[in-house]
C-alpha cells in the first residue's frame, strides 16, 4: 500500500492547515507536513481523531480547501489522498477564527 501512497513527489512543509468539523464547531488547527498533487501528510493535536473523510483548508479563512481521504495513520500523523477538487468555502463563524 505504501507504493500507492507515494506515487507522486511530496514536498516537505511545516505550515498550518485547518480541518472542518461543521458550522457549529471551531476549525481544528493541524500542521501540514508534506504535500503533492495527489495528497499529503499532516499532524494534528494529540487528542484529536481525524475522521476517515474530511475537508482540509489550507487558509485560515477557509477559502482554499480540498476533500480528503485518510490512507494511513501513525500516532497523531495521517497520510491522505485528495479525493476531489475545491470544496465549498467553509462556513466558520468569524469569532471562531480568533482562537
CATH of the domain at 17: 2.40.10.220
* Predicted model pTM: 0.78
Q: Please tell me the predicted confidence (pLDDT) of residue 96.
A: 59
Q: How many residues does the chain have?
A: 99
Number of separate domains in the chain: 1
Q: Are 56 and 77 in contact (CB under 8 A)?
A: no
Q: How far is CA 2 from CA 25, 36, 72, in A?
A: 33, 15, 9
Please report whether residue 56 resides in a domain.
yes
Please report whether residue 99 resides in a domain.
no
Please report whether residue 97 resides in a domain.
no
What are the pLDDT digits (tens) for 12-51?
889 999 998 766 677 889 999 999 999 999 999 888 888 8
Please report whether residue 72 resides in a domain.
yes
For residue 1, name the pLDDT band (cuts at 50, 70, 90): very low
Q: Could you tell me the residue range of the domain that residue 31 belongs to?
A: 2-90
Please report whether residue 35 resides in a domain.
yes
Amino acid at each position: 500500500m505504501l507504493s500507492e501512497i507515494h506515487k507522486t513527489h511530496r514536498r516537505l512543509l511545516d505550515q498550518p492547515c485547518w480541518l472542518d468539523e461543521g458550522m457549529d464547531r471551531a476549525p481544528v488547527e493541524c500542521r501540514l507536513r508534506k504535500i503533492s498533487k495527489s495528497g499529503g501528510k499532516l499532524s494534528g493535536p494529540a487528542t484529536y481523531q481525524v475522521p476517515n473523510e474530511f475537508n482540509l483548508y489550507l487558509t485560515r479563512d477557509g477559502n482554499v480547501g480540498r476533500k480528503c481521504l485518510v490512507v494511513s495513520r501513525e500516532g497523531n500523523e495521517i497520510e491522505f489522498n485528495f479525493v476531489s477538487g475545491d470544496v465549498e468555502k467553509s462556513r466558520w463563524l468569524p469569532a471562531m477564527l480568533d482562537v
